[in-house]
Amino acid sequence: MAFGSFDNSNGANHTVSEINMVPLIDVMLVLLVIFIITAPLLSHSIKINVPQASAQPVEQEPKIIDLAVDAQGQMYWNEVAVGTEELTQKFAAETALDPQPELRIRADLNTRYEVLAQIMSSAKAAGLKRLGFITRPGSDGGSAAAAGNAPPAKAAPASGTPQAAPPSR
């Protein structure tokens, strides 16, 4: 914005290169008035005695179903031998529980995938939503249990983890 003077005595028009402070001061004063008016309203509060409740949510741990499958396809429901028909009935009964139990499948290294697929399919058809697999970490193909020289149920689990074979009880 260029301002000139009405005095044409020197004949040269020159521009004033100063910032016009009037609009900035006006804005600052308006903001100052707004803060002066609203500050007492923000600090005014009403003290209310609100009752305190000490209710804590009830945490229900879901039941864990251990389903072991050996190399021949025999299934063990919590260490009790079950058949395929009985397994689907047990799945249907467990689906109705609240909270729904978690199904953990332990399979032998030589178990056919077809057997595991049938188990997962019948669990899904029954409505079970929580499904997990228990594996043995660090198992290699050269071990005695994997080669079939020793029964998998007697193989020692690595660092206290569950075995991948049916129970030996």
Domain span at residue 147 reads 64-160
Residue pLDDT, tens place only, 44-63 = 777 888 888 887 777 778 78
Do the domain assignments include residue 169?
no
Report the number of distinct structural domains present in the chain. 1
Do the domain assignments include residue 167?
no
**0.75 surpassed by pTM:** no
- Mean pLDDT (whole number) for 5-17: 65
Question: Which of the four pLDDT bands, split at 50, 70 and 90, describes residue 5?
Answer: low
- Residues 122/88, Cβ–Cβ less than 8 Å: yes
**What is the CA 149 to chain-centroid distance, rounded?**
42
Q: Hey, what amino acid is at 144?
A: A
Do the domain assignments include residue 33?
no
Do the domain assignments include residue 19?
no
Q: What is the CATH number of the domain that holds 77?
A: 3.40.250
| Most confident of the following: 2-16, 47-61, 146-160 | 47-61
Which string of DSSP letters, residue by residue, matches 77-140?
ETTEEE-HHHHHHHHHHHHTSSSPPEEEEEE-TT--HHHHHHHHHHHHHHT---EEEE--TT--
Residue 139: which residues within 8 A CB-CB, separation 6 or more?
A: 109, 145, 146, 158, 164
